[in-house]
Amino acid sequence: MGYMDVLKQVKDKQISPIYLLYGSDSYFIQNFKKHITKAVLPDDDVENLVSYDLEETPIQEVITDAETYPFFGEKKLIIVNNPVFLKAKPDKLPFEHDLVVLQQYLETPADYSVVVFIAQYEKIDERKKISKLLKKNGAVANCSPIKEQDVSKWINDQANQLKIVIEQDAYEILEGEISTNLYLLKNELAKLALYVGEGGTITREIAERLISHTSNSSSLRLVDAVMERDIYKAMTIYKDLEKMKEEPIALVALLAFQFRTIYRVKLLKQKGYTQFQMQKQLGVHPYVIKIASSREDKFSHGALQSIINQLTEADTAMKQGKMEKELAFELLLFELIQTR
């Protein structure tokens, strides 16, 4: 059963006594916890909400709690984090998890307890007996990061719920810059919806002005400043990044990624590659290809090679301590802006 199917059942108050959430996307996990808490417990029933970390507590203690009647309430909700025994290679702990006790509970869970196992790992070992039992006797939700091809549908669903319209140019900014973080993306959409109001339209200008700057989006803006030969704009962006505690070495790496992508897109374009073929070849987001493709004709082959060399030299100078990192990055910006 998929994540959305399990979540729908919870919203419809069809509650299972056992849940297993696995995958590394924190948005899916936090969203599920919010809805399961609302479905199982009254708003003020904090006494019957318990959380455990299985890197610190043996599973047998958790099961004892699950088998204990709720304190002044009908149901008890138990959140169980880090079930290390579901990993292919479990972490070494100073105690042992008694999985026989867990297996017995999974066969006959208490009807007054809802136990949610949260395995925030990229993978679990589905061959293990305990994994199979959890899947057999519980509701299982895959919380892996959303796939690229599903991001557009997710944004559209959120926009419909918020009753706003997103123009294509603004949509591409959202998808390309922060689509890997659904929690951040949801917050940014809520902020944009509040700004334009119900029935409002999010334009590219509004998105660029209001979306919280990430290091990735700021590196794109730095490339724009270099293309425009605007040192004031470049320095302003850099100072904003300094306030975000971004390291100059990391910023050099981000710029290097952007310019290498522009250079590779330029080469592939000359060979007749389509944007889809370039995306498959380079293994990056389609938006990255689109942006690089729109920029490559602003630079000659020689200019791009020179910029990449300058970035490499700056990176080496910083790592070897030949120059103070902040000063080295400022000088690098001046040099990049002069290169054509």
Domain ranges of the chain: 3-142, 148-210, 215-338
Percent of the chain with pLDDT over 90: 40
- pLDDT beyond 70 at 123: yes
The pLDDT of residue 180 is: 57
Reference 221, options 130, 116, 295; nearest CA is 295
User: 186: pLDDT confidence band, cut at 50, 70 and 90?
Assistant: confident
Band of residue 82 on the pLDDT scale cut at 50, 70, 90: very high
Dist CA 289 CA 177 (whole Å): 12
- Evaluate if residue 212 carries a pLDDT over 70: no
The model scores a pTM over 0.75: no
Q: Is the pLDDT of residue 175 over 70?
A: no
Residue 180 or residue 206, greater confidence: 206
Confidence of residue 157 (pLDDT cuts 50, 70, 90): confident
Q: Do domains 3-142 and 215-338 have the same CATH topology?
A: no
Q: Are 47 and 65 in contact (CB under 8 A)?
A: no
pLDDT at 337 > cutoff 80: yes
User: pLDDT at position 177, please?
Assistant: 58
Phi, psi angles (nearest 5°) of residue 262: -60, -45
Per-residue pLDDT at 151: 74
Query: Please, what CATH class does the domain formed by 215-338 belong to?
Result: mainly alpha
How is domain 148-210 classified at the CATH fold level? Helicase, Ruva Protein; domain 3 (1.10.8)
pLDDT of residue 237: 83
CA torsion through residues 33, 39, 43, 48, sign: negative
Q: Extract the runs of DSSP E, i.e. beta strands, from the chain.
A: 18-22, 49-53, 76-81, 113-119, 139-142, 165-166, 201-202
Q: Choose between 240 and 5: higher pLDDT.
A: 5
Q: What are 20-55's pLDDT values in tens digits?
A: 999 988 888 988 999 999 999 987 677 889 999 999
**pLDDT tens-digit series, residues 88-110:** 888 889 999 999 999 999 999 99
pLDDT of residue 179: 56
Among 159-168, 216-225, 291-300, the range scoring the smallest mean pLDDT is 216-225
Percent of the chain clearing pLDDT 70 (strictly above)? 93
Mean pLDDT of the chain: 86
- 340 — pLDDT class (breaks 50, 70, 90): low
Eight-class DSSP state of 41: S
**Which of 3.40.50.10860, 3.40.50.920, 3.20.20.150, 3.40.50.300 would CATH assign to domain 3-142?**
3.40.50.300
Neighbours of 140 (CB within 10 A): 20
Residue corresponding to tokens 């299982």:
140
